A and B are shown apart, each in its own frame.
Chain A
């Protein structure tokens, strides 16, 4: 028998809390995340973004182990830059989704401990959300929550977006897609709710809104205070970011 003095092996992972979500509309997509970064019971910082603009029509939210998340975003952006150099255009979102799956699966046996949600506009102008597990399994959905408060937020979204456990009034049916102002309200409610019930969620909220070309949904953004445009080119998809405070306790 080989006896060795205690050799607790190095754990290369940690969990940095926070929550992200994305909702697709008919011609828009909303991708949001809180900005708290924590480890155990300690808040490391009140502002560490988890949502990143990749192109004018794609936004990526990452949640899990922050160091892996930041490195993963950095590598995805590098691949997108190479694609731009090779093809003189931005990579379409369905291709970004497959790229992310390939990059995640490449690390199948030492995974990026990160849950990814990719939101944006498809080439046909529809709003899209792709969600991934840490090793690359992915699907296109209408909405998805991930992270510390996934178990609180996802059921709420299922109920409010997919109308699960609701029955339509006789002679009516539920809408396929919700309007942008309704979606933004749902996102804010999701995060205020998660902040209330989960210690790892809070501080502030960042919501990215991606609009399809000439989308009429722009109306819904007209009177939003503190909204900031992040679009880099004219006459294409447009990206906006909306920031809101969350409770800091």
Chain B
């Protein structure tokens, strides 16, 4: 007898997802217990997710961007989520992947910054230290087979030095003058490289914004998990700043002319 009413009259096997929902809805299990699987359970898939984060080096520092969408599978679930987060005055992080894991990371770093501040030793963590710390945390978690499911960009400006690096759920790290996570690494990264590589020291803030906005527009056209509402952050000698949410003009009239797939009858 199945004692869970939610299961009554429903298929015994939910592994087949007839309606293509994602993640697959879980109902209470009333099957014989598997003694081994009853142990510690860890995150094996992200649930509420953010998509790409972009970042480039330019003359005065680093510019980053991320849209305001947190998706639940293919559902655009939360449309006013901030995916950029300042850590102190010299560092900005931006994350794709699981948003609850990202919020956990934000709290962890905020607590770390307070711990460092209360020491009152005149030292402050800069972008390089925060990136190293994050890398160690994410690598330690993957090693415990309990990952924090994110791809994170760390941008910073301290002591006249720009900093830009990546870290992900596996603990993989790297640094380059343009970086993009998720879908952006396929769509935006080539555009960013073409616009930035070799010109890091001459690109002005206005030019950097143009490059970032062009890439965000292309991503909005091509990435089905993106939103035309995003924020841009700059990290310069003036500190770490995040803009208000903004959107870009887009054109969709061409869609009318497309033939060969979709709903048209001729």
A and B touch in the complex (CB under 8 A): yes
A positions within 8 Å CB-CB of B: 1-10, 12-14, 16, 37, 39, 42, 44-48, 65-67, 70-71, 110
A66-B172 contact given A10-B145, A44-B166, CB 8 Å threshold:
yes
Cβ of B32 < 8 Å from any Cβ of A?
yes
Interface contact A66-B44, CB-CB below 8 Å: no
24 contacts between A and B (CB under 8 A): A1-B31, A2-B32, A3-B31, A5-B17, A6-B15, A6-B17, A10-B43, A10-B44, A10-B145, A10-B147, A13-B170, A14-B170, A39-B172, A42-B189, A44-B172, A45-B176, A46-B176, A48-B174, A65-B170, A65-B172, A66-B172, A66-B173, A67-B139, A71-B139
B positions within 8 Å CB-CB of A: 12-15, 17, 24, 26, 29, 31-32, 34, 37, 42-45, 135, 139, 142-143, 145, 147, 166, 170-176, 185-186, 189
Which of B24, B37, B45, B174 is A45 in contact with, Cβ under 8 Å? B174
Of all chain A residues, the one with the shortest Cβ separation from B24 is: A5
Which of A3, A45, A48, A65 is B15 in contact with, Cβ under 8 Å? A3
- Shortest beta-carbon distance, B133 to chain A, in Å? 14
Of all chain B residues, the one with the shortest Cβ separation from A5 is: B24
With A6-B24, A66-B174, A70-B173 known, 16 other A-B pairs at CB within 8 A are A3-B14, A5-B15, A5-B24, A6-B15, A10-B42, A10-B43, A10-B44, A14-B172, A44-B172, A44-B174, A47-B175, A65-B170, A66-B173, A67-B171, A71-B171, A110-B143
Chain B hits for A46, CB < 8 A:
176
Best-buried of B32, B170, B176, B186 by chain A (most CB within 10 Å)? B170
Closest 4 CB pairs of A and B: A67-B171, A45-B174, A45-B176, A5-B24
